[in-house]
Homo-oligomer: A and B are copies of this chain.
Amino acid sequence: MSVLEISKSAKKAASELAVSNSEIKNRALEEIIKVLSDNKERIIAANQEDLQRSQEENLAAPLLRRLKFDEAKLNDVIDGIHSLIKLEDPVGKVLLATELDQGLELYKVAAPIGVIGIIFESRPDALVQISTLCLKSGNSVLLKGGREATATNRILTELISEATTKAGIPSGWITLLETRSDVNEMLKQEEYIDLIIPRGSNEFVRYIMDNSRIPVMGHADGICHCYVDADVDLEMAVKIVVDAKTQYVAVCNAMETLLVHEQIAANLLPRLKEELSKFNVEIFGCEKTAAIIDVNPANSETWKTEYLDYKMSVKVVSNLKEAIDHINTYGSGHTDSIITNDREKAELFMNVVDSGNVFWNCSTRFSDGFKYGFGAEVGISTSKFHARGPVGLDGLVTYKYKLYGNGQIVADYANKKRQFVHKNILKKD
Contact = CB atoms under 8 A, between A and B. Distances in A.
B405 A18 contact: no
A346 B210 CA distance: 40
A310 interface: no
A328 interface: yes
Given A100-B373, A400-B357, A409 B209 contact: no
A409 B113 CA distance: 35
A10 B254 CA distance: 31
A276 interface: no
A348 B406 CA distance: 17
B402 A358 contact: yes
A402 B111 CA distance: 27
Nearest to A98: B373
Given A362-B408, A371-B413, A413-B371, A351 B385 contact: no
Tell me how many chains of this kind the complex includes.
Answer: 2
Contact of A403 (B98, B233, B352, B362): B362
B359 A405 contact: yes
Interface residues of A, number: 76
Interface in A312-366: 324, 328, 346, 348, 350-352, 354-363, 365-366
Contact of A366 (B209, B240, B383, B403): B403
A195 interface: yes
B247 A409 contact: yes
A239 interface: yes
B372 A385 contact: no
A361 B400 contact: no
Nearest to A325: B15
B357 A401 contact: yes
A243 B408 CA distance: 9
Interface in A382-421: 383-386, 388-390, 398-411, 413-414, 420
A385 B354 CA distance: 20
Contacts of A108: 389
18 contacts: A15-B352, A111-B351, A114-B354, A215-B384, A233-B407, A236-B407, A243-B409, A358-B403, A365-B409, A365-B410, A366-B405, A371-B410, A371-B413, A384-B398, A385-B398, A386-B386, A388-B400, A388-B401
Query: What 3 A-B pairs are tightest by C-beta distance, nearest first?
Result: A362-B405, A373-B422, A243-B409
Given A108-B389, A215-B384, 13 more contacts: A100-B366, A100-B371, A100-B372, A106-B373, A195-B384, A346-B404, A357-B400, A361-B408, A363-B408, A366-B410, A373-B422, A384-B398, A389-B400
